[in-house]
Structure 1
Amino acid sequence: MEVDPIEKLFGELKGSFDTAEPTDGHRLRFLAKLEASATGKTKLKRNRVIWKPLTVAATLLLLCTIGYNYLYTSPSVQQQVSKISPEITNTEFYFASVIEDQIKKMQNESTPETQKLIADTMIQLRNLDSDYKKMERDLLDGGNSKLILSAMITNFQTRIDLLNEVLEQIEEIKNLKKYKNENITA
Structure 2
Amino acid sequence: MKNNTDIDNLFKELKGSFDTQEPSTTHTANFIEKLNATKKTPKKFSWKPFAIAASIAFLCAIGFTLFYQKQTTNEQIAEIAPEVNETKFYFASLINTQVNELKKETSPSTKKIIDDTLIQLNKLESDYKKLEKNLLNGGNTKLILSAIITNYQTRIDLIKDVMAQIDTIKNLKKYNDENSTL
Task: Bin the TM-score by the shorter chain.
Answer: 0.7 to 0.9
| 2:132 is aligned with 1:121 | no
| 2:157 is aligned with 1:175 | no
How far the C-alpha of 1:115 sits from its partner, in A, is 0.9
Separation (CA, whole Å) in 2 of partners of 1:146 and 1:89: 15
> 5+ residue gaps in structure 1?
1-35
Separation (CA, whole Å) in 1 of partners of 2:179 and 2:66: 68
How far the C-alpha of 1:133 sits from its partner, in A, is 0.6
Q: Which residue of 2 aligns with 1:162?
A: 158
| 2:39 is aligned with 1:43 | no
Give per-residue Cα distances to partners, 1:100-141, cap 9 Å, x unaligned: 110011011110111111111111111100100100110111
Give per-residue Cα distances to partners, 1:14-47, cap 9 Å, x unaligned: xxxxxxxxxxxxxxxxxxxxxx8xx85x722xx1
Amino acid at match of 1:43: K
> 5+ residue gaps in structure 2?
1-36
Separation (CA, whole Å) in 2 of partners of 1:179 and 1:63: 73
Aligned length: 148
How far the C-alpha of 1:87 sits from its partner, in A, is 1.0
How far the C-alpha of 1:71 sits from its partner, in A, is 2.6
Separation (CA, whole Å) in 2 of partners of 1:70 and 1:171: 53
Separation (CA, whole Å) in 1 of partners of 2:136 and 2:178: 57
What TM-score results when the alignment is normalised by the length of structure 1? 0.74
> RMSD across aligned C-alpha pairs, in angstroms?
2.1
| 2:100 is aligned with 1:104 | yes
Q: Which residue of 1 aligns with 2:28?
A: none
Separation (CA, whole Å) in 1 of partners of 2:109 and 2:62: 55
Q: Which moved more, 1:150-159 or 1:70-79?
A: 70-79
| 2:84 is aligned with 1:71 | no
Separation (CA, whole Å) in 2 of partners of 1:112 and 1:69: 52
Give per-residue Cα distances to partners, 1:65-98, cap 9 Å, x unaligned: 1221233211111111111111111111000011
Q: Which residue of 1 aligns with 2:12?
A: none
Percent of matched pairs sharing the same residue: 51
Q: Which residue of 2 aligns with 1:89?
A: 85
Separation (CA, whole Å) in 2 of partners of 1:120 and 1:151: 23
